[in-house]
Amino acid sequence: MVKSDTAAPLVTVLIPTHDHPATLDLAVASVLAQTVDALDVVIIGDGVNDDTRDVVAGLLADDRVRFLDTPKSPSRAEPVRHKVLTEATASYVCYMGDDDLMLADHVESTVCRLQSADFTHPLPVNIDRGGSLRAHPADIADPECVAWHMHPQRNAISLTGTGHRLDAYRRLPGCWQVPPAGSWSDHYMWQQWLSVPSLRFSTGDRLTVLKFGAEARPDMSADERRDELLEWIDRTVQPGFEAWLAAEVAGAYRRYALRSRLDLFALTDEVHDKWRAWDAERTVLLSLEEELEAQLASMQSALEAAEARSDTAEAKARQTQEMLDATRATRTWRLHDRLVGSALARWPTRR
């Protein structure tokens, strides 16, 4: 255990809680059991009930634990988190979920990474219901991974296990605050960090926290959630646990790689199928286009023929009119006109 030479804490650990009294004491106990002893453990009660207050009362026997009992915030007590950090004196900050567990050397390994980084998080692996591990690969030392996290709906950094330097937090352009509508609270805070190019980022290479996501356990009772954590606590003290856990993590990453490869194959097949379907549709459309062009050419020829016939008929009509006009202009036609208009022409009719 890393003991403090003075009364001053080395690390402030923030544990926000709202309605997990069944697991809160186990989470806090895993923090207090760290190999780093110089801790300032701050439990932030975000509109808690009396059951949670009773649990916290038993934890306050350790003078490293403080409790801030605040009314329910619109989000996740972000302004309270910020207030704690503005008043903190420890050099480093860690975060902990109220239904997760820290392995004993988590804080120590986090502080070690923060000697060369400003913001860090452990190897991102979650524990699914049933005990299997699920990997969420990320490496925020890579600028491309940082850019990936800047998307509003992409995040592999959970609250549990994340750590940072306090002096770096106080230089950020943004702080813990209620996020905009549609944004995730913790992710919005991480984006304040990741948006600063001068800061240094690090992802751990070992699993040092056990994260039991509530989204994977919607129908588990509080007692079942507690029993699950107790089973894992018992597992952590068994001989060979570290080697077993490392093998499980490796298996989780192999499964992720295989699943990603299969997804890529499926996506490639889908793209090829769509390309073939598009190519077939394109062939049909080209054939229809040729047919339409042929029909258009035929109609154009018919139109031109009709226009030619019309021109011929008009020419013949003009020729006939000219001949008629010429005939009417002759002496014989003028004599005819006078005869037709005379009484002599009408005499047979009167007979």
Averaged over 4-25, what is the pLDDT? 89
Higher pLDDT, 31 or 273: 31
Is 323 a residue whose pLDDT tops 90? no
Is 248 a residue whose pLDDT tops 70? yes
Examine residue 349 and state whether it is found in any structural domain, yes or no.
no
pLDDT of residue 342: 65
Higher pLDDT, 270 or 81: 81
Examine residue 27 and state whether it is found in any structural domain, yes or no.
yes
Are 104 and 222 spatial neighbours (Cβ–Cβ below 8 Å)?
no
Examine residue 265 and state whether it is found in any structural domain, yes or no.
no
Examine residue 261 and state whether it is found in any structural domain, yes or no.
no
Higher pLDDT, 258 or 308: 258
CATH number at residue 79: 3.90.550.10
Which residues 6+ apart lie within 8 Å of 195 measured at CB?
A: 150, 173
Tell me the two tokens of residue 282: 């394109």
pLDDT of residue 350: 46
Is 193 a residue whose pLDDT tops 60? yes
Are 41 and 31 spatial neighbours (Cβ–Cβ below 8 Å)?
yes
Averaged over 266-280, what is the pLDDT? 88
Is 293 a residue whose pLDDT tops 80? yes
pLDDT of residue 122: 98
pLDDT of residue 305: 87
Q: What is the pTM of this model?
A: 0.79
Q: Are strands 92-95 and 163-165 parallel, antiparallel or unpaired?
A: antiparallel
Q: Which residue has the tokens 């634990």?
A: 65
Q: How confident is the model at residue 348 (pLDDT cuts 50, 70, 90)?
A: low
Examine residue 54 and state whether it is found in any structural domain, yes or no.
yes
Report the domain count for the chain: 1
Is 89 a residue whose pLDDT tops 90? yes
Return the DSSP state at 5: S
Q: In which domain, by residue range, is 227 found?
A: 11-237
How confident is the model over 69-80, as pLDDT tens digits?
A: 999 999 999 999
Which residues 6+ apart lie within 8 Å of 349 measured at CB?
A: none
Residue 258 burial class via C-beta count within 10 angstroms: exposed 0-12, middle 13-18, buried 19 and up? exposed
Examine residue 260 and state whether it is found in any structural domain, yes or no.
no
Averaged over 180-207, what is the pLDDT? 97
Are 145 and 228 spatial neighbours (Cβ–Cβ below 8 Å)?
no
The whole-angstrom separation of Cα 217 and Cα 175 is: 31
DSSP secondary structure, 50-80, as one string: HHHHHHHHHHTTSTTEEEEEEPPPSSS-HHH
pLDDT of residue 86: 98
Q: How confident is the model at residue 302 (pLDDT cuts 50, 70, 90)?
A: confident
The whole-angstrom separation of Cα 161 and Cα 127 is: 14
Q: How many CB atoms lie within 10 A of CB 215?
A: 6
Examine residue 251 and state whether it is found in any structural domain, yes or no.
no
pLDDT of residue 67: 98
The whole-angstrom separation of Cα 219 and Cα 216 is: 9
The whole-angstrom separation of Cα 130 and Cα 58 is: 30
The whole-angstrom separation of Cα 33 and Cα 42 is: 15
Higher pLDDT, 306 or 83: 83
Averaged over 18-36, what is the pLDDT? 98
Residue 7 burial class via C-beta count within 10 angstroms: exposed 0-12, middle 13-18, buried 19 and up? exposed
Q: Are strands 11-17 and 39-46 parallel, antiparallel or unpaired?
A: parallel
Q: Beta-strand (E) ranges in the chain?
A: 11-17, 39-46, 65-70, 92-95, 101-102, 119-121, 125-127, 133-135, 163-165, 201-203, 209-210
Distance of CA 126 to the CA centre of its chain: 18
Is 8 a residue whose pLDDT tops 50? yes
For the chain, what percent of residues have pLDDT higher than 90?
73
pLDDT of residue 110: 98
Examine residue 209 and state whether it is found in any structural domain, yes or no.
yes
The whole-angstrom separation of Cα 75 and Cα 82 is: 14
Is 2 a residue whose pLDDT tops 60? no
How confident is the model over 130-175, as pLDDT tens digits?
A: 999 999 999 999 999 999 999 999 999 999 999 999 999 999 999 9
Averaged over 2-21, what is the pLDDT? 83
Least confident of 40-54, 209-223, 238-252, 305-319: 305-319
The whole-angstrom separation of Cα 67 and Cα 70 is: 9
Are 128 and 216 spatial neighbours (Cβ–Cβ below 8 Å)?
yes
